[in-house]
Chain A
């Protein structure tokens, strides 16, 4: 009998945590990545990672409150049990990263320092300068390299995932491997596996310019979707309030800049052309502080984004009449700023040419994170109150103390498993934890949590599930050959189209990709409206048609990046349609999804997961009930002074 193997696709935090945990369980891991794993997009995460900690605990904070904040922050869309388990595990994850040698910032006494972050009144965010993601992924990369040197993990770097191999069995569909392509030699081949973990991150490139890395196309998730994997809440796309506009990407300016005291403002008077330092306090409009006295500048992202958008687009108060506001740190000690935020201040300095320690930064919102993703299931844990509780009162005694297995049952085979047996989805690529809006510093947590907690489920499935009786290594090669042939056909289609030089704009994949980004940014970001979404559907149909006729400027059988891009674009178009369809069908406003024509949350009809299915080239949507058995929904106001739930920008110009 062949040795059991597990494939992990993606080498960011989720993929590396999964690889380490599965290798530790004694299974062989094949780790696939389009880049050397150390260069994965997780390096871009800046601010930190949330967890209840001893200081906050003594001030009245708890894992339960972290859970409650995450549900409230996500506007009551997430299934609640998985979120509870994640919050309960957070302190253990911090301890583990600490043992791996992550240089967390320290207090003068040598304890891990903490900072304030959006959506909480307690300091519960652990950090390593302003490059926390980089430091965490390096720690996990090092541990996986250790397993690699012991022969337990085999890396396939510069290999692109093309399609899952799914077998139809009497018990239903089961994933038994993948087909991938070497991006250098262009070899397409099948890899057998008893389980496959997708950990391929987000889809920022569907929106053209975003805060994401160039590799975050969403193509891998889209390919699974096209192969029959369900997709949850595609319309839930987080637009980060503070990014630096740029020609090639919109660089993130971390929420930690606000957590460390950064103040957002615009001149009170339209057209005030004085340099920011010459504008006296009385003439500055600190609109977040004035509108949200309790949370001020650290309101959650969707709210900050809409307020900034509204100030610029509706009120015309943007700095210099443009779509930008000040993010001001100049009142803080420059040395303190360097110590706490050096990494991100350097980015601003480098790309804008201005020192943010002495001059307020100019920022505007940008697409940042996908709360939606491949649909995954779970087995409820031991905490099941008779009735859902009312919202937790901040700082009060929690109803339960954190224990393993209260939220999800540890090791249950279906935790983080998609609708296809043996195919799992970890990290940003799944839809599980962040509902309609992700809280800052919860992403790193969810990625590592999935790898460590749900990694156990993968190992158990391989040992106790279908692969125990029928290992992938013993299956006939027919199913694998069929998928290889399908993918070779796609390669051929593109190579056959190639001729050197520029294709005409109508059939040039790079132009089609740019138009896709512009359209999705205009129709499906900060504000959405039926009329604009209908127009978007038409544009996407046009782009799909053009993409079918698109041609390449390169037919090389070696390291052909143009082919990789064009093929990914076809998949991104399918994902874009699901996002736009979700935005159209969800006729309410919730979290990051804001409809000017349906400005209120509608729990009766839409406190439900948007479930997208793709079959025979067609996407269908349905709304399915969520697990809301722990906390009752309440209005999500964050203590706004007037009684309106949040900013209600009109449908102007749309979010660019």
Chain B
């Protein structure tokens, strides 16, 4: 096949029939010891991390000939729209479905390292528990408070620009990349401490998304009350890692800055009102 003129320049030519090694950080469950296992896989054409993990599941034998259990991992849509299969690949957090082996390991014997995200408790192997991430959406009341599901006509009209701006914010798939990359966001296994722990970029972006909707703005004050408190926007250290790892290219730092400004105004207004 000839190289297409518009093929993305960065993609290297992979060696067909090669063997790729997967070094996987494993753990049988909470409180269990961590161990590393390495597997050899012959990736098929167009292979990604998922299809290689599937191969390992069908034949869980390490490069040392050690018989072991299949690697546990979380996945769903396999087209980078559900957020489930997020993990740390060669030290960088991303979705494993869109991680193509041809790109990461084009040569014979190339090795890929797989680890679970470090900011969430491990369930097993590469599978982590992201309940805290969804809890944060409750903290910022990430919804439009409609009157109910019966017919009441159309929603508020909005300009194409507004809709496009909200659309980008609304593509957040709660994958957790922004939290994994954030120096301020730390693992917290105790749900009782979640309300005062740093909420993270994704939730501030959601707060902005709903503050900018005509009906959603009704809850703006309540959202800002949460975000001006402990674990809110003031805990952001402005490292700006979040925006660099977001797979949906959401302007997270812009959202944090917007929330920061709103919180300041909200605080002053509250101070004047007493």
Contacts and interface: CB of A to CB of B under 8 A. Distances in A.
Contact of A101 (B8, B60, B141, B215): B215
Contacts of B7: 353-354
Interface stretch (B110-118, B155-163, B179-187): B155-163
Nearest to B29: A558
Contact of A213 (B76, B124, B137): B76
A279 interface: no
Given A99-B154, A562-B70, A44 B79 contact: yes
Given A500-B67, A556-B28, A108 B151 contact: no
Nearest to B71: A561
A131 B247 CA distance: 15
Contacts of B153: 95
Most-contacted residue by chain A among B43, B46, B69 (CB, 10 A): B69
Contact of B143 (A146, A339, A358): A146
B16 to A, nearest CB: 13
A452 B76 CA distance: 26
Interface residues of B, number: 80
Interface string A580-607: 0000000000000000000000000000
B69 A554 contact: yes
Contacts of A43: 76-77, 81-82, 173
A246 B160 CA distance: 35
A214 B4 CA distance: 31
Contact of B98 (A40, A111, A351): A351
B68 A559 contact: no
Contact of A214 (B78, B134, B171): B78
Nearest to A23: B149
Contacts of A350: 80, 98
B152 interface: yes
B6 A95 contact: no
Nearest to A352: B46
Given A105-B163, A128-B167, A134-B81, A562 B137 contact: no
B2 interface: yes
Nearest to A215: B76
Contacts of A500: 60, 67-69
Nearest to B124: A559
B170 A135 contact: yes
Interface residues of A, number: 83
Interface stretch (B49-57, B189-197, B254-262, B264-272): B49-57
A248 B127 CA distance: 19
Interface in A257-312: 275, 277
Given A41-B76, A558-B124, A96 B160 contact: no
Nearest to B74: A35
A149 to B, nearest CB: 5
B80 A131 contact: no
A343 B163 CA distance: 15
B134 A36 contact: yes
Contacts of A452: 149
A351 B167 CA distance: 23
A508 interface: yes
Contacts of A95: 151-155
Interface of A: 17, 20-21, 24, 35-36, 38-41, 43-44, 92, 95-96, 98-101, 103-108, 110-111, 113, 128-129, 131, 134-135, 138-139, 142-143, 145-146, 148-149, 184, 213-215, 245-249, 251-252, 275, 277, 320, 339, 343, 347, 349-351, 353-355, 358-359, 452, 499-502, 508, 510-511, 514, 553-554, 556, 558-559, 561-562, 565
Interface of B: 1-2, 4-8, 11, 28-29, 43-48, 50-51, 54, 57-61, 67-70, 72, 75-84, 97-98, 100, 123-124, 127, 129-130, 134, 137-138, 141-146, 148-149, 151-155, 157-160, 162-164, 166-167, 170-171, 173-174, 210, 213, 215-216
Q: Which 5 A-B pairs have the closest CB atoms?
A: A501-B67, A98-B155, A510-B58, A142-B143, A248-B51
Given A148-B138, A351-B46, 11 more contacts: A39-B174, A96-B151, A105-B160, A106-B159, A145-B134, A145-B137, A146-B143, A275-B2, A275-B4, A339-B164, A354-B7
